[in-house]
Amino acid sequence: MSFRAVITSSEHQAIWSRLILTLSTINQDIKFTIMSNELILWSMNSTDTTMYQVRLKSSFFSEFSFDPSGIVFGEEGLQVIEDLQKQQHTLYSFVMNGRHLSILSRKPEYDNIKEFSLSIDNSTTAPETIINRLHIRVYTESLITKEFSPTFNPVKYDPIVIDLKYKKKFLDVYGAGESLNGEQADPRLLDFFGQVRKQLEEAKFNEGIIDAPRPDELRSEHEINFLSMDSLIWRNAIDLCTNNTEELKLDLTMNKMVITAFTKGIQNMKSNDVLKQAISISNSVSTEDVEHYCLFTTSGSSGTSRKETHSKHAVFKMRDFRNFFSVNQAWKENATVNCWFCSPGDPILFEIDRGDVKLSLVQITDTAGSTVGMAPDLSIHPVLVSPKKPRSPLRSACTNTKAVPNAPRGKELDAANLDAIKTLFVQDIEVSASAVAMAHSPTAASAQLGADENLRSTCSISQEEQHSRDGTPAISSRRISRADTTIAWGAGKEDVLYPGLDYGIPQGMNQPKRRKVGELTHASQNPESQDYGLGPTQQYQPKGIFD
């Protein structure tokens, strides 16, 4: 077997079906390129203005194998290339009808696909009937097997490396160092520079690109702009557009980004009749909501204003971009969309990296707004911005160490203070000498009472947690009554140490009133004398039917 790839995941099967359908909408023919660790699918429209490319790593498939050494028939598609590290790579390319393949890759209406496999056998042992055919095998959960063998034509792979050229220019302009114009670049943007540089080094078709020298002085022909933001922003802009919109305009400034979908109106010059109604729908987004953006700003030109030099825009076709972005809906999670564009009329590059799948779209932009010549006294100021994302104070407070329960909001205690607080417990039975001193000194008692209340409110730790940490069983404490926690001023030493029934009763009260208060206090502490809210003729505990 020269090539074999198997997909068993239902999610990957849906992604594969969506990819083939989108590629077939750009062009009827889809080109395949098989390598040892990835599969490349790409198509280009008839006017060579739009190219869509998909890179599937071998980890995307449940099984992936490629043996170019046994290919005898259809050797027109075999190629051997050498990268800058002097390593040779063998690849095999062919072209086939994408519309037929999209029909065969669809999910059955009332069944699920259990296994979807692709295979090619052009070896010496292959019969003549299966040579130059892509064997498709679909095995469903209802135990039905479907096999198809569409033909393909072997071709040479002619790579279009616009993405590598743009990334190299991007690094030459913005990624020269960690600072630009005296300002420190954001660490997130520096990490992205490292990722782009690694992609250039690992690319197999980087000959003549990565080894190109960096320009000593930036000029107008080195212009490149970069924009990175969440796919949800693009999705909201596309959902607002109607099917009648034909073009999409991206306008980026230092403070705002505007995405405008529009259709140019057509009017009959003789009869002044409107043949096509003009439509325009705009979606404005603040640059604080994007991930990164780099602008090739200029100043010093006498013919352009400061607003024009700091504004970058690109106009491209809406239909192709909508089809490209529809593939991203196969995933449930949002992704980051990276965009590179130069002057009006140059291609614009969109890229979405999903790990095992990388999507890229290249479109020719409209030449409207392009400048033919630049003033000689023009100065270039590249701008790198990575807006800081606001963080919720509640989320930031939860990321720190464990806070003490009932602590004041916004304050936390370190480990040393936490260990000291764990030992602060109120004694149950023993009464220290400070309690006697507080009984004779109202000022000290009030101060100590306030300190105890603050400590109790900020450092409340349960005894069950302390016993669980120590490994000792929890001991049930006695019932704390009001007399144990109330401080009465003017009480004697005996009353503090041995509180009785008259504890807390003023000494100046006459004898009958003191007796009545003592009876009420004794009745409140006796459970049998409590009032359960029933009438005087009702029993406190009614008898049951069997009593």
- Tens-place pLDDT, residues 439-465: 444 444 444 545 454 444 444 444 444
Q: Is the pLDDT of residue 502 over 70?
A: no
3-state helix, strand, coil in the chain (%, to 5): 30, 25, 40
Q: Where are the domains of the chain?
A: 1-159, 161-390, 391-478, 482-527
Phi and psi of 317, rounded to 5°?
Answer: -75, 140
Q: How confident is the model at residue 543, as a pLDDT?
A: 62
Mean pLDDT of 377-398: 57
Element (H, E) at 299: strand 292-299
Burial-class residue 534 by CB neighbours within 10 Å (0-12, 13-18, 19+).
exposed
In tens, the pLDDT along 30-51 reads 999 999 999 999 999 988 899 9
Q: Which of 31-35, 62-66, 212-216 has the lowest mean pLDDT?
A: 212-216
Going by pLDDT thresholds of 50, 70 and 90, the confidence category of residue 75 is: confident
CB 422 within 8 A of CB 461: yes
Give me the residue label for tokens 């720190």.
Answer: 400
Going by pLDDT thresholds of 50, 70 and 90, the confidence category of residue 135 is: very high
Q: How confident is the model at residue 533, as a pLDDT?
A: 53
CB 323 within 8 A of CB 25: yes
Going by pLDDT thresholds of 50, 70 and 90, the confidence category of residue 22 is: very high
pLDDT higher at 493 or 326: 326
Q: How confident is the model at residue 352, as a pLDDT?
A: 94
Going by pLDDT thresholds of 50, 70 and 90, the confidence category of residue 424 is: very low
Q: How confident is the model at residue 530, as a pLDDT?
A: 52
In tens, the pLDDT along 227-269 reads 999 999 998 888 888 888 888 999 998 888 999 988 887 777 7
Report the C-alpha gap between 64 and 66 in whole angstroms. Answer: 7
Whole-number mean pLDDT of the chain? 75
Which numeric CATH code is attached to 1-159?
Answer: 3.10.150.10
Report the C-alpha gap between 357 and 206 in whole angstroms. Answer: 20
Length of the chain: 547
Q: How confident is the model at residue 350, as a pLDDT?
A: 95
In tens, the pLDDT along 344-360 reads 889 999 999 998 999 99
Q: Which CATH superfamily is domain 161-390 in?
A: DNA Polymerase III, subunit A, domain 2 (3.10.150.10)
Q: How confident is the model at residue 84, as a pLDDT?
A: 76
CB 161 within 8 A of CB 205: yes
In tens, the pLDDT along 140-160 reads 999 999 999 999 999 999 888
Q: How confident is the model at residue 124, as a pLDDT?
A: 85
Report the C-alpha gap between 517 and 507 in whole angstroms. Answer: 12
Q: How confident is the model at residue 216, as a pLDDT?
A: 79
Going by pLDDT thresholds of 50, 70 and 90, the confidence category of residue 522 is: low
Q: How confident is the model at residue 278, as a pLDDT?
A: 82
Question: SS3 for 477?
Answer: coil
In tens, the pLDDT along 97-128 reads 999 999 999 888 888 999 999 999 988 888 88
Pull the structure tokens for residue 222: 């080195």
Q: How confident is the model at residue 390, as a pLDDT?
A: 55
**CA angle, 488 as apex, 484 and 494 as ends, to 5°?**
75
Q: How confident is the model at residue 351, as a pLDDT?
A: 94
